[in-house]
Amino acid sequence: MVLNGGTDVVIQLRDRLINPEYVVDIKRIPGLDELRFSKEEGLHIGACVNMNRLGGDENVRTYYPFLANAALSVGSKQVRNRATCAGNLINASPLADTSTPLLCLEAVLEVEGPDGKREIPINEFFVFVRKTTLQKDEIVTGIRVPYYEGAEGIFTKVSRRNKVDLSTVCSTVMKYAGQYRAAFGSVAPTPRRLPKTEACLNEGPLDDARIDRAVELALSEVSPIDDVRASKQYRLDVVAMALRRGLESLG
């Protein structure tokens, strides 16, 4: 079992949800804490970069502000000093807050294992609740995020409490070169893009009728459940609200 920031692993150990023979701390492997940006190569988020560092980074705040907002919405300051962005994706909770901006940004996970290196596009990464296409003997070394000149995005998190709470629904709506992308978390077994909704939005100019149609499609593309945080109906209403407001403010 790989140990990164441990904010999921230590709790799973404590609750005896996992019983690994070995726990391998990767935080002191040189290079895994690198965070760098250039317009040519985009953003590289090393596997051990924590949420406060990601969300506070000047380049991330400038070029990927909705990713910064998502990172800073995770837990508390104490948790964010430990929790990593890579761990957030690999843990594969349906509500992982950094998943929706990274889905819209079409990030790529850089993976290394006994057979060498490979890359997994984020839209092929999540399989089911807590299941990914990462193999047991592989580790993620970093996340690569392309640079999109002039892209804008809105990250929305709705939770029961203002701070330090898990998302009831989280989402990102992004606009790049006149095209829209939308991803939602906590409304299906995995965080996901909404391809039909996006296709509708990208067919023609954004007017009220198109927004109505897109919201209707979005509701058909998610399958939320009732749980301790909210009912299915509440989540559907939040999906409609977050998409509508996101589109209206991106214009």
**CB closer to other proteins out of 6 and 189:** 6
With contacts defined by CB under 8 A, name the span among 20-28, 29-37, 136-144, 223-231 that binds other proteins. 20-28
How many CB atoms are closer than 10 A to CB 111?
20
What is the DSSP track for 82-103?
T-BHHHHHHHT-TT-TTHHHHH
| Residues β-bridged to residue 153 | 174
**CB closer to other proteins out of 24 and 127:** 24
Among other proteins, ligand FAD, none, partner that 88 touches (CB below 5 to 8 angstroms by kind):
ligand FAD
Instruction: Please answer whether residues 80 and 5 qualify as being in contact, where contact means their C-beta atoms are separated by less than 8 angstroms.
Output: no
**CB closer to ligand FAD out of 2 and 169:** 2
Q: For 245, phi and psi rounded to 5 degrees?
A: -65, -40
Contact flag: residue 79 with ligand FAD (CB under 6 A): yes
Tokens 């149609």 locate to 213
* Spatial distance between the Cα atoms of 120 and 97, rounded to a whole number of angstroms: 19
Structure tokens at 72: 């800073």
**CB closer to ligand FAD out of 44 and 82:** 82
Kindly state the smallest distance separating residue 66's Cβ from other proteins, in Å.
Answer: 19
The pattern of x and - marking residues 145 through 184 that bind other proteins according to CB under 8 A reads ------------------xx--------------------
Contact flag: residue 74 with ligand FAD (CB under 6 A): yes
With contacts defined by CB under 8 A, name the span among 19-27, 113-121, 138-146, 199-207 that binds other proteins. 19-27
Among other proteins, ligand FAD, none, partner that 1 touches (CB below 5 to 8 angstroms by kind):
ligand FAD
Contact flag: residue 13 with other proteins (CB under 8 A): yes
Instruction: Please answer whether residues 151 and 114 qualify as being in contact, where contact means their C-beta atoms are separated by less than 8 angstroms.
Output: no
With contacts defined by CB under 8 A, name the span among 6-14, 38-46, 103-111, 152-160 that binds other proteins. 6-14
Choice from 1, 17, 18, 23 touching other proteins (CB under 8 A): 23
What is the DSSP track for 8-48?
THHHHHHTTS---S--EE-TTSTTTT-EEEETTTEEEEETT
131-150 binders of ligand FAD (CB under 6 A):
139-140
**CA dist 74 to 78, 81, 108, 130, Å?**
10, 10, 21, 18
Q: What is the largest CA-CA distance in the chain?
A: 57
Q: Which residues bind other proteins (CB under 8 A)?
A: 3, 6-7, 10-11, 13-14, 23, 25, 27, 52, 75-79, 81-82, 163-164
